[in-house]
Amino acid sequence: MIDFERLESFIGRLRAVPFHAYPRVAWQIARRSWITASAPAVPKELHEGDLLSAFGVHDRNQMLSDFYHRKNPIFFWSENAAKRASFVESRAPGLVDRMQACGEEVLAHRFDLLGSGKLDLGTRIPWRCDFKSGYEWQKDHFTRLKIVDLDAGFDIKIPWELSRFHQAVSLGQCYALTGQSVYVTEFMAQLQDWWVESPCEFGPNWANAMEVGIRSVNLIWAYELMRASPQISNEFTFLFLRSLFEHGRYIVRHLEDGWPGSNHFIANLCGLIWLGIYLGPAPEAQKWLQIGLRLLSRELSTQVYPDGAHYEVSSGYHILVAEMVLWTCAYCKLNDIRLSKVVYERLAGMLDVIHGMIRPDGEIPLFGDCDSGRWLALESDTKRLRTGQDARGLLVLGAVLLDREDWLSAAAIPELRVERQEAALWAFGFQADVAIVPSVQGVDQSVGFPDVGWYVMRAGQVCMSVNTSENGSGGWGIHAHNDTLSFELVDGRRAFIIDPGSYVYTGDYRARNVFRATASHNTVQVDTHEMNRIPERDMFRLNDDISVSVRQWGSDNIRLWLEAEYVSRAAGREILYHRRKFEYFLQERYWLLTDYAGYCDGRMPNELSVYFHFAALPVQLDGLMARTMCTEGTNLAIFPLSQGNNVVETAELHQGWISCHYGVRERAPVLQYRLSNDETTAIRTVLLLYVTEEELALRRSELQRG
C-alpha cells in the first residue's frame, strides 16, 4: 500500500535540493543503502590482534607501555591533573563544593537532562532509553532501529545526551580536585556497562557520527583527568583504547557529508582530528587526522559566512560549531598540528560574531534553533546557564588561544565572572589567568553581520538584536525559524522582549512546528500565512520561500535605525511582503517600529497580526497598551500610534510559551495586535522604556499627539 504522506515528503525534499547538490545527495543515499544492506546481525568486536596490528606492536603489554610513556601527543597539562585542578581551584572560589554537588548527583545516577527533571535512574543506567517517555530502543544494529517516530512521542536526544558522557568529565574533575577514588570507580563502572549495552554500531547511540565524535572527546578528557588513579587498570586502559579506535573507525566510515553540510559534519571532522591526534602512533589514526584537517578547512569555507556567522542561521548552533572548532584548534596547536589559514580565520570570525551578539545581560539572542548542545562543558555552573551553552566562556578560551584581549570585555558579568574562566583555566592553566574587565556598552558598539543578517543596535545598556536572515543551509532551513524581522530587546540585566526558543524536536513535532512558526516570533503575520511554509512532518526543513534585503542601517547623534524587508512565495501566486523599520531615539529612550505588510499585487489582507513575546515578567494590558510591572528599575510599555485608516483594532494579552533550554518551557505573556487593513498605510508601534508612572504618562501623551 502506498504511503502517500511519505511519498509527498520525499517529493518535497527532492524539489528542495538544488541541481548541483544531486551527486552529493545520491552518494550519501547509496552509501547509507550499502551500510544498511551489509549491516552485521550481531556485534563484531575489534579483535585484540587487529588492534595491536593497527598500533604496530606484537603484544598488549608493549602497546600499553608505549601509551603510558609516550611524550607525544601532549594533552592540556604536562603535570598531574591534580596540580592543574589545584590551580583552577585557587582561581575559582567554591569550585570544589560546586563540582562535588554535581558529582554526588552522578554517583547517585540522578540526572536532569533536556527537560527530564531530576530523575533517579536506578542502579544500572538505561543507556538505550528515553527516560522521559519510557521508550527503550533494542540492542540491534542502528540501521534496523526506528530512531524517530513522530507519532510515538519519544525523543532520541535523551539517550544521546546521556551517552555523550559529559557526566564522565564531571567525575574526572571531581577526582582531580579531591583525589577520592569513588569518582574513578563510577567512571569505570559506567563506561564498562555502556560497552555492554552499546557495542559498536549496535543500539541508538551509534545512529550518527556526530554523537560518536562528541562522546570520544569527552571520554578522552575524563580518562586524562583520572589516568593517574591506581584504580585505572591495564585491562581498563586497553579496553578504553580499543573503544576509542572503534569510535574513530565508525566516524570515518559514516561521515555525515551529504547535502546540505551541517554542524553534524563539523562534529565528525573535529572528532576525527581529536582521535587522530590522541591515537596518533597508529598509522590508521594518522589518516583520520589528515582526513579531518583537509575536510574541516573545506567545510568551514562553505558553512561559515565571510562575516563569521554559521550558515544554519541559528545562534545556538553557531555557538556549538564555534565551540567544536575552538577546542579542536586548541588541541592541534598544543601538538604543533598545522591547521590551514582559513580555519583560524573562520574561527576568529565566529568568535567575533559571539562577541558582537552578546547582550548586556551576558546572554545571546535566540535566533533559529537551540538544542543546548555542547562539545565540552568544563564550567561548574552549566546548569545555571540560560541555554546550557557558555558563550562568554568561549570568548575567554578564544582570547587565550588567539591572543584577543578585546573579547574579554564581553565575558565580564561581575557576579558571574569566575565561572566564565573555568574552562580556559582547565585547558591552559596560568596562561588563562587573565584580567576580565567589564565593558561599557556604547552607541559605537552597534554591529551588523550582513551575510547572515544579524544586527545589534546598542545605546548604553539598551540593546536590540534583529534577525534579517533567510533560511540558511543553502535554502534547506535545517535549523531556521520563521523569525525574519523579529527581534529581542534588553535593557541592562533585564530582558523584555525575547525569542521563545525551540523547546523540542522529534519528541513532539506539533510543538516543534509551533515554536518555529511566524506567530511565535516578534514580527508581523499576514493573514494566516507563514513566511516560509513549514512541512508538517519534516522536522529539519523549511520551504525556501523568502527573500530578504536590508534597505538601510546606521546611526547619528539622534537615533539608531535599521530598515529591512522580505518578499515571500509562501502564499503561492500571491506574493507576501513585510517591510519593517526599527528606530531608537537616544534621548527619549523609545523604539519606533514601522511596519508595512500585505500582498505585492496590491490586494489587502483580511488581517494583520503583530506579535510581541515577553520574557517571564508581570505584564498588564490597559486598552491598547501593554506594560511590564516590575517593582524596581526600568519597565517597558508598548502601544500603537494611529495613522490614517490603519488603526489597531484589538490588543490581546495571553499566555504563551518560552523555551530557553531544550526540553524546558515556561509560561510567559504574548501581546498580539490585530488590525484589518483597508489601505496601505504604516503600522507604527512604540516600545517605551520608562522608570516612573509620571514619565510614562507624559511621554505617551507626547508621542500620541505627534
Among the residue ranges 159-168, 395-404, 593-602, 672-681, the one predicted with the least confidence is: 672-681
Confidence of residue 434 (pLDDT cuts 50, 70, 90): confident
Total residues found in the chain within this entry: 706
224 pLDDT more than 70: yes
Q: Is 16 or 6 the better-scoring residue by pLDDT?
A: 16
Residue type, 646: N
What is the gyration radius of the CA atoms in the chain, in angstroms? 26
User: pLDDT tens digits, residue range 593-640?
Assistant: 999 999 998 888 999 999 999 999 999 999 999 999 999 999 999 999
Beta strands of 127-190 (E only): which ranges?
129-130, 135-136
643 pLDDT more than 70: no
Question: b or e along 505-532 (b: 16 or more beta carbons within 10 Å of the residue's beta carbon)?
Answer: bbbbbebbbbbbbbbbbbbbbbeebbbb
- Distance between CA atoms of residues 675 and 120, nearest Å: 51
Domain residue extents for the chain:
4-37, 68-254, 259-434, 443-705
DSSP secondary structure, 482-511, as one string: S-TTEEEEEETTEEEE---B---STT-HHH
411 pLDDT more than 90: no
- Distance between CA atoms of residues 471 and 546, nearest Å: 8
For residue 641, the SS3 value is strand
Q: In percent, how much of the chain has pLDDT > 70?
A: 95
Mean pLDDT along residues 268-284: 97
- The yes-or-no answer to whether 68-254 and 259-434 have a common fold is yes
Among residues 471, 529, 480, the alpha carbon closest in space to that of 502 is found at 480
Mean pLDDT, the chain, rounded, equals: 94
Confidence of residue 435 (pLDDT cuts 50, 70, 90): low
Residue type, 428: F
Q: Grid coordinates representing 539?
A: 522536522
The pLDDT assigned to 369 comes to 98
Neighbours of 323 (CB within 10 A): 26
The pLDDT assigned to 644 comes to 54
443 pLDDT more than 70: no
Whole-prediction pTM: 0.96
Q: Grid coordinates representing 279?
A: 591515537
- Distance between CA atoms of residues 519 and 335, nearest Å: 50
CA 59, 64, 69, 73 dihedral sign is: positive
Q: Grid coordinates representing 400?
A: 587565550
Confidence of residue 433 (pLDDT cuts 50, 70, 90): confident
- Distance between CA atoms of residues 243 and 286, nearest Å: 17
Q: Grid coordinates representing 270?
A: 573535529
Confidence of residue 676 (pLDDT cuts 50, 70, 90): confident
Q: Grid coordinates representing 315?
A: 545562534
Beta strands of 559-695 (E only): which ranges?
559-568, 576-585, 590-599, 608-613, 619-622, 625-628, 635-641, 650-661, 664-675, 683-690
- Distance between CA atoms of residues 500 and 497, nearest Å: 9
The pLDDT assigned to 679 comes to 60
Residue type, 206: W
The pLDDT assigned to 60 comes to 96
Side-chain half-sphere exposure of 31, counting CA atoms within 13 A: 13
259-434 carries CATH number 3.30.70.270: no
The pLDDT assigned to 368 comes to 98
Mean pLDDT along residues 498-518: 97
For residue 447, the SS3 value is strand
For domain 443-705, give the CATH number: 2.70.98.70
The pLDDT assigned to 442 comes to 35
To which CATH superfamily is domain 68-254 assigned? Chondroitin AC/alginate lyase (1.50.10.100)
- Distance between CA atoms of residues 131 and 155, nearest Å: 9
Mean pLDDT along residues 352-376: 95
Confidence of residue 364 (pLDDT cuts 50, 70, 90): very high
Contacts of range 617-622, beta carbons closer than 8 Å, 24 or more positions apart: 617/496, 617/668, 617/669, 619/653, 619/669, 619/671, 620/653, 621/651, 621/652, 621/653, 621/671
Residue with cell 565528525: 268
7 pLDDT more than 80: no
Among residues 192, 159, 157, 166, the alpha carbon closest in space to that of 102 is found at 166
* H or E, element range at 111: strand 110-111
Residue with cell 550582513: 450
